[in-house]
Amino acid sequence: IKKIAVLTSGGDSPGMNAAIRSVVRTCAYHNVECVGVYRGYEGLIDGEFEVLDARSVKGIINKGGTFLKSARSKEFRTVEGRKKAYENIVKAEIDGLVVIGGDGSFTGAMIFNQEFDFPVMGIPGTIDNDIVGTSHTLGFDTALNTVVDAIDKIRDTASSHNRLFFVEVMGRDVGHIALNVGIAGGAEEILIPEEDLGLERLVDSLNRSRKSGKSSSIVVVAEGDKIGKNIFELKDYVDENMEGYDVRVSVLGHMQRGGAPSCFDRVLASRMGVKAVESLLEGKSNYMVGLINNIMELTPLENAIKGKTKINLELLRVSDIMST
């Protein structure tokens, strides 16, 4: 392998820049050329490439987002799109590809590998932490810290006004963010996509905590929570079924995906980039790099995309006990 390309795809996450930097510098360390591809698979199809050397990634380890930009490419889902991408890759004499993204991006990489027998390696980048084969995806830790900071601020105003706040956090399919920030932010209840708490239980629990002397409360709601009501409907339900609580809603949204990566994510990104490039150089392909028991391991892409990581039930129990 003499030339490796790197791209970021799907929803961005803090630490993607640090991972690009690591891929580029590991290539430089091994005297391999590195090419950055702009706008994910879209840039692969349009031939938007730029040669990157060790110095061209200076000053980005601490930056959120991805300087290579990201996209969700519809065209890459088609045979024609992937063929165009392959033709560009051949023309540019690229012989390995590192894809930084989530499960959708890995599915694309896997199909591309099958069709053209082209070496690919995945780095899991998403704040959702929903990818099998790593205890942490890139950006998860930063997002947790961002959300906890926001909840702390909401708590200040909630307690000043004796209010109940529903705080919506990201997590369309999984409750990892909600569960962790709920515990760290001292939430009364945590609503996640994996478990249906039930509206009555929610109201009972809030009533109980009122009676036990709590004057304000925070309920963390994952955007895909299983009760199946959106956060404003939840507010209306509690308004109708609870006496005297002043209820407010705060939807945190995309601010959760931005910001400078935490120390943990910068280190993780650096480790993942080294592992991804060196694995390609060892002739491995079609894997995702991941952190398992604090060791960098490879998981076949096929397994990485097979399902979502399960929530830790112990955390649910801890959260229950903490809200006593």
Chain residues binding ligand F6P by CB under 6 A are 11, 126-128, 170-172, 223, 257
Binding-site members for Mg(2+) are: 103
**What minimum distance in Å lies between the beta carbon of 237 and ligand F6P?**
23
Q: Which residue number, 188 or 223, has a Cβ lying nearer to ligand F6P?
A: 223
- Residues belonging to the binding site are 11, 21-25, 72-73, 102-105, 126-128, 155, 163, 170-172, 186-188, 214-216, 223, 248, 254-257
Closest CB to ligand F6P among residues 172, 317: 172
The binding site for substrate consists of 126-128, 163, 170-172, 223, 248, 254-257
For the record, the structure tokens of 242 come out as 């609870």
Looking at 12, 46, 117, 128, which residue is catalytic? 128
Nearer to ligand F6P, 198 or 307 (CB): 307
Nearest distance from C-beta of residue 123 to ligand F6P, angstroms: 15
Q: How far is the CB of 227 from ligand F6P (least distance, A)?
A: 17
Would you say 126 or 142 has its CB closer to ligand F6P? Answer: 126
Query: Smallest distance, Å, CB 139 to ligand F6P?
Result: 8
Residue 130 annotated in active site: no
Catalytic residue positions, numbered: 128
